[in-house]
Structure 1
Amino acid sequence: MRSLKIILLSSAFNGLTQRAWLELRQAGHLPSVVLFTDEASVCQQIEHSGADLVICPFLKDRVPHTLWSNAKRPVVIIHPGIVGDRGASALDWAITQQLPSWGVTALQAVEEMDAGPVWAACEFNLPAGLRKSELYNGRVSDAAIRCIREVLEKFVEGFVPVVLDYTDANVRGRLQPNMKQLDRSFSWHDCARFIKRCIDAADGQPGVLASLAGGQYYVYDAHLDSRSGLPGEILAVHDDAVLVAAGDQSLWIGALRRKPQPGEETFKRPARHVLAGQLVDVPVLDWSVATQPFCDEAYQPLRYRECGNVGELTFEFYNGAMSSEQCQRMVAALRWAKSRDTQVLLIKGGRGSFSNGVHLNVIQAAQEPGAEAWANIQAIDDVCEELLTARQLVVSGVTGNAGAGGVMLALTADIVLARADIVFNPHYKSMGLYGSEYWTYSLSRAVGPAVAEQLTQACLPLSAMQAWQLGMVQEVGPRCPDEFSLWVLQRANAALSDPAYAPVRERKARVDHELIRECRENELREMQEDMLHNRNRFAEKCRNFVYKRKVCGTPARLVEDWARVRSVELAG
């Protein structure tokens, strides 16, 4: 296939857009990104770029008439719904209605949203119990990439997309209204599984508005529990979550956002933080890996098990963010796990992101955000230190996308195993930070100082395969989360005897602990300037991230020369 100049028009450079960008580059194409700001600017950038094709992996805005009406350069929308489905709440309805299967459709942009002729479609089974974000970053993302590949092949062949025909029995999708809070609403008297499904369908955005502790909150991060009580009553607190009684059983709610007053903005925070003053008389259930390592509680953000010579610690923090308190709990769990008579310590992410480093929302909510950021970075450094100083051979199983300190956390392990097609963002600069988590030691150890510097300065994503090629990752495992969990445990058990890991085992025997200590001190010296003295505008960037401020333009690093040169020539 010939190399194509492709514009990725997107509302944000999110996980799917990053994956599409990586996929297109891997296939030899030249993708350039345009982030949707205002109609005039977007039209100018694309019309003057000389692009062959425009693909929209994640677009909340309507495609301007000037763009979609250009017959020579199609604009293809990647819609997270089956053929014929239309509307902005496709995944919300699919989860709410408990559909057995769903899909993704690539369709040409026309005047009417999601009503254009079809380029490609891909369907998949829809298991019960998935959150919207989990579905989007997993099966939807996989199907979207398959659709994009098919679109490119058909475009080169001169394919004419198929007009949407609702009289065709195979077209099962229909126009669906945008889901409103009334459609999402539940009563705490409803059964727990129904409530969880409502919350799962609104995961990420917008959340479900519910009454709790005398106030109105958007609720997120729900987990089933078998305890019961008066519906709507807060029964207990554990770590950052509160346990709320439902009609039959109960649910742990991990995150809340207070309903804002007119003109006010609020953001998600750990539920215990939001309700702090109202939890004084609520019982605290205080199990942990260190005190009850093999307990059978349903809700365990940190859980441990042993299999043969391997001790496996799984951590699952909502959206991959790790607050100071979560890091402290993980340090305690690691210290206990390191005391066990095991030879391999496997750390593994949960079903969402692996880790994205420090918890920006908790930092922003603090009375002194800079001081909280400084405490948070030292706490996550403590987690990394426990891994770097473990007697056991340490293996990290990177189950989901990882960014910034989350990437470096994974790299502190002796062996890094990644799930296929996840995305790494091994950089901090775009957030105004130098970076810590021992990156100057572990990233340099993996790829060499020159490449480490290049990766942290470029601020670009890497695919799992690219990370493997660079030496950041030792093996890439199955894409299916369940298959990956089995595979990573098998590989951890084999790590002590596999000849391929002999150099890793030898390297562990001669770790330079003095160098590790120096790296931490040097990094923290730089981070102090960024977090406490705001050297590179971290405070503003943190605030913009938390409040989801719309970008004012496309970062230069995402614009290819072919797209940039034409614009410059025109302007001259």
Structure 2
Amino acid sequence: MRSLKILLLSSAFNSLTQRAWLDLRQAGHDPSVVVFTDQATVCQQVEVSGADLVICPFLKDRVPHQLWSHPLRPVVIIHPGIVGDRGASALDWAITRQARRWGVTALQAVEEMDAGPIWSTCEFDMPDQVRKSELYNGLVSDAAMVCIRDVVAKFAKGFVPTPLDYTQPSVIGRLQPNMSQADRTFSWFDCAGFIKRSIDAADGQPGVLASLLGGQYYVYDAHLDARQGTPGEILAVQDDAVLVAAGDHSLWIGSLKPKGPETFKLPARHVLAEQLAGVPVLDSSIACQALNERVYQPIRYQEFGHIGELTFEFYNGAMSTEQCQRLVAALRWAKARDTHVLLIKGGRGSFSNGVHLNVIQAAEVPGLEAWANIQAIDDVCLELLTAKQLVISGLTGSAGAGGVMLALAADIVLAREGVVLNPHYKTMGLYGSEYWTYSLPRAVGSEIAHKLTEECLPISAIQAQQYGMVQAIGPRCPQAFGLWLLQQADSALADDKYLHARTRKATLDTRQVERCREQELAQMRLDMVENRQQFAEKCRNFVFKRKACQTPQRLIAPWALRYEAGVQESRMLND
């Protein structure tokens, strides 16, 4: 297939857009990105780009008439619903109604939203007890990639999309209204399973508005528990979560956002801090709490012969100072065990995205909290670097910034197929820490390390393996990946493909490691405490989800820039 000029029009360069961008590049294309700002700017950017095809992986805004009506350059929407489904709350309704089958549909933009002719569709079985963000970043993302590849192949062959026809028995999707808070509402007297499903369907955004201890909060990050009490009562506190009694059992609520303007998500214990006096605080340390799949355990540990497996699951991959301190304690305990391999893995969502920007923003002095947070995550990395066991990182989900470097602190890095890595800090106004000046060049060499941290672009698991950041890629299915990780860990001490990692571990230069930390932290203090590169403003914009005012230059392909420059030159000559 010839290389196509494909433009990705998106409301943000989010996880799915990044994956699409990487996949198209892997297929030999050179995609360019336009972040939707305002209609006039977007129309001009698309028109002057010279694109052959426009694909919208994540678009909250209506496609302007000027764009969708173009006779030769189709605009294709990637909709997270089955054929016939329409509306902005597709996944919310699918989870709420416990759909057995769901899917993704690629359809051409027309005047009426989601009503255009069909280019491609891909369906899947819906899992039980799934969060919207987990579904979106997992099965929906996978199906979307199938559709995008299909659209590109069909476009190259001159395919004519099929009109949406509700008279066909195979078209079972329908127009759905935008889900309101009234559709999501629950009472703490309802059964815990129903409440969890309501929260799961609103995970990420917008959350479910509920009353708690006399206040109004949007609730997120729910986990079932068997304990009972008076509905709405806080029964216990553990780590960042509070245990709330429901009609039959109870739920751990990990995050809350107070109702009101200019608020944002924070750990539930932080939000309710002054109201939790007298509530029992449970010890969650892995030394005291054996693994139990039915109990809320953000950090959990189990052993398989000579392998110790430590899983940490922090909401959205953010790691606060306290979470890092708890993980350090868990790692020290695990390192003291009589094991030969230590396997660390993320949970269902992201592996790690580094420091917790929301907790930092909420602090009385954000810069000082950021400074404490970066030192705490450095401590996590140091525990991995200095473990007597062979340490393996299992990238169960995507990772960014310090989360990537945390993984690289292990001796071996294994990735799940389809994960996306963002190994850079610069866009947040940070120099970076987590021993990146040691671990990244050690993995990829100084030249590639400089390229990755300066270009500020995502890379795929395949690219990461080519660079040397990842040693092997496992199955995309989360359950299959977990089993594959254990198989790799079991053979890691003898397998020749991991010989270099074992040799490298034996020659760790502790003095160089210490120097790297000191030098990195000296730079980070300038960024976090003294705000050298506007970290404070960038953190605030991230936390409050302020929309980008323009498409970053690094995401615009050279062909789009050349075409635009040519158009401008032609206009100047004509004038």
Corresponding position of 2:554: 557
1:145 aligns with 2:136: no
2:375 to 369, 375, 378: 378
Q: Which runs of 5+ in 1 are unaligned?
A: none
| Alignment partners' CA distance in 2, 1:506 and 1:6 | 44
> For each residue in 1:527-556, what CA deviation from the matched residue of structure 2 results, as whole angstroms up to 9, or x when unmatched?
000000101000000000000000000000
Letter in 2 for 1:205: Q
| Alignment partners' CA distance in 2, 1:295 and 1:386 | 25
> SS of the residue aligned with 1:418?
strand
1:496 aligns with 2:496: no
1:566 aligns with 2:563: yes
Corresponding position of 2:416: 419
> SS of the residue aligned with 1:48?
helix
> SS of the residue aligned with 1:30?
coil
Q: Which range moves more in the overlay, 281-290 or 131-140?
A: 281-290
Corresponding position of 1:245: 245
Corresponding position of 1:479: 476
Corresponding position of 1:350: 347
> SS of the residue aligned with 1:81?
coil
Corresponding position of 2:279: 282
Letter in 1 for 2:163: V
> For each residue in 1:186-212, what CA deviation from the matched residue of structure 2 results, as whole angstroms up to 9, or x when unmatched?
000000010000000000000000000
| Alignment partners' CA distance in 2, 1:35 and 1:74 | 18
1:292 deviates by 3.0
| Alignment partners' CA distance in 2, 1:103 and 1:381 | 41
Letter in 2 for 1:282: V
Contact between 1:310 and 1:344, CA under 8 Å: does it hold in 2? yes
> For each residue in 1:198-233, what CA deviation from the matched residue of structure 2 results, as whole angstroms up to 9, or x when unmatched?
000000000000000110000000000000000010
Letter in 2 for 1:446: A
| Alignment partners' CA distance in 2, 1:553 and 1:318 | 29
2:301 to 293, 300, 304: 304
> For each residue in 1:127-185, what CA deviation from the matched residue of structure 2 results, as whole angstroms up to 9, or x when unmatched?
11010000000000000000011101111111110000011111110000000000000
1:510 deviates by 1.3
Matching of residues 441-460 of structure 1 within 5 Å: 441-460=438-457
1:512 to 501, 509, 514: 509
Corresponding position of 1:167: 167
> SS of the residue aligned with 2:142?
helix
Identity of aligned residues (%): 73
Letter in 2 for 1:23: D
1:502 deviates by 1.6
Corresponding position of 1:45: 45
1:297 deviates by 6.2
Corresponding position of 1:535: 532
> SS of the residue aligned with 1:311?
strand
Letter in 1 for 2:295: A
1:253 deviates by 0.1
1:499 deviates by 1.6
1:571 deviates by 3.1
Letter in 1 for 2:380: V
Letter in 1 for 2:265: K
Corresponding position of 1:522: 519
| Alignment partners' CA distance in 1, 2:228 and 2:218 | 22
The size of the alignment, in residue pairs, is: 569
Letter in 1 for 2:51: A
Corresponding position of 1:90: 90
* TM-score normalised according to structure 2 size: 0.98
| Alignment partners' CA distance in 1, 2:252 and 2:462 | 36
> SS of the residue aligned with 2:487?
helix
Letter in 2 for 1:562: W
1:450 deviates by 1.1
Corresponding position of 1:329: 326
> SS of the residue aligned with 2:49?
coil
> For each residue in 1:489-545, what CA deviation from the matched residue of structure 2 results, as whole angstroms up to 9, or x when unmatched?
111111111122122112111110000000000100100000001010000000000
Corresponding position of 1:77: 77
| Alignment partners' CA distance in 2, 1:462 and 1:172 | 37
Corresponding position of 1:548: 545
| Alignment partners' CA distance in 2, 1:355 and 1:117 | 39
Letter in 1 for 2:413: V
> SS of the residue aligned with 1:520?
helix
**C-alpha distance 369-2 of structure 1, shift in aligned 2 (>3 A):** same
Corresponding position of 1:338: 335
Letter in 2 for 1:159: F
1:393 aligns with 2:390: yes
> SS of the residue aligned with 1:557?
helix
**C-alpha distance 149-130 of structure 1, shift in aligned 2 (>3 A):** same
Matching of residues 144-293 of structure 1 within 5 Å: 144-260=144-260, 264-293=261-290
Runs of 4+ aligned structure 1 residues displaced above 6 Å come to none
Corresponding position of 1:429: 426
| Alignment partners' CA distance in 2, 1:184 and 1:346 | 39
| Alignment partners' CA distance in 1, 2:197 and 2:294 | 21
1:296 deviates by 6.5
| Alignment partners' CA distance in 2, 1:133 and 1:294 | 25
Corresponding position of 2:35: 35
| Alignment partners' CA distance in 1, 2:293 and 2:4 | 53
Contact between 1:290 and 1:332, CA under 8 Å: does it hold in 2? no
> For each residue in 1:94-129, what CA deviation from the matched residue of structure 2 results, as whole angstroms up to 9, or x when unmatched?
000000010000000000000000000000000110
1:294 deviates by 4.4
